[in-house]
Amino acid sequence: MKNPAPQPSRPRIRYISPRFQGPAVLAFAAIISIGGAIFWKLVDSEFQRVFLDAAIRGHYTFDSAYDIVRALLASHLAGLFAGVFLAGSVLVLFLIAATRHGISKAVDSLRSSADGDLSTPTGAGLIGEVDRFGRKIDAARSDTLDSVLKIRSEVEALAAGGIPPGEFRLRWDDLKQRIREIAP
């Protein structure tokens, strides 16, 4: 029984929902959690003071507990909203700046590759997908640079001479094929 030829492994396509962008989601969750903890700490201490004052003065003048804390709760909720909104906005601006920086580094790397520089690393960093793209660019540039170095050494070996004409022709055809793989 024949074994089927192994199929070449294809790169896995990663479909990522924008709602589940790992570190960014964790950063937003941390902002909301810290804002909630600060809100709870401030409101708890204020509520204890206000309820103690109401108990001492007599709470019968108020219709409900909400009447006692209405102004206090409204100001703290406004502060919570403003604080979380501003911190989230700063995080969004940071993510935008990091993405722009990574993309510009990747574009600079591609432009330098077009100019013949295959050895300078991309250094896209900070954002996961942009960093992964930068590593793929670096890997492709590294493979191309390895191929160019092998072709150079083969050209030097052919230029040194001392090879029979039949073998020279075979090696020359192989060399031309490898050059076509790099620059079609």
Mean pLDDT value across the chain: 80
Tokens 């490898």 found at: 178
Residue 178 burial class via C-beta count within 10 angstroms: exposed 0-12, middle 13-18, buried 19 and up: middle
Euclidean distance between CA atoms 126 and 128, whole angstroms: 6
**Domain extent for 36:** 21-182
Residue 151 lies in a domain: yes
End-to-end CA distance of the chain: 40
Which pLDDT score is estimated for 131? 76
pLDDT digits (tens, 9 = 90+) for 136-169: 888 888 888 888 888 888 888 888 877 888 888 8
Count of domains in the chain? 1
121 dihedral zone (left: phi>0; alpha: psi -120 to 50; beta): beta
pTM over 0.75: no
Euclidean distance between CA atoms 32 and 30, whole angstroms: 5
pLDDT digits (tens, 9 = 90+) for 106-138: 888 888 877 877 777 777 777 777 777 788 888
Residue 14 lies in a domain: no
Which pLDDT score is estimated for 103? 84
User: pLDDT higher for 60 or 104?
Assistant: 104
Q: Is the pLDDT of residue 12 over 90?
A: no
Residue 10 lies in a domain: no
Residue 66 lies in a domain: yes
Euclidean distance between CA atoms 140 and 145, whole angstroms: 9
pLDDT digits (tens, 9 = 90+) for 33-65: 999 999 999 888 888 888 787 777 775 666 677
Euclidean distance between CA atoms 111 and 165, whole angstroms: 41
User: pLDDT higher for 164 or 183?
Assistant: 164
pLDDT digits (tens, 9 = 90+) for 61-84: 666 777 777 888 888 889 999 999
| Three-class SS of 56-83 | HHCHHHCCCHHHHHHHHHHHHHHHHHHH
Q: Is the pLDDT of residue 17 over 60?
A: no
Residue 9 lies in a domain: no
Span 2-15, average pLDDT: 66
Residue 131 lies in a domain: yes
Residue 121 lies in a domain: yes
User: pLDDT higher for 30 or 66?
Assistant: 30
Residue 143 lies in a domain: yes
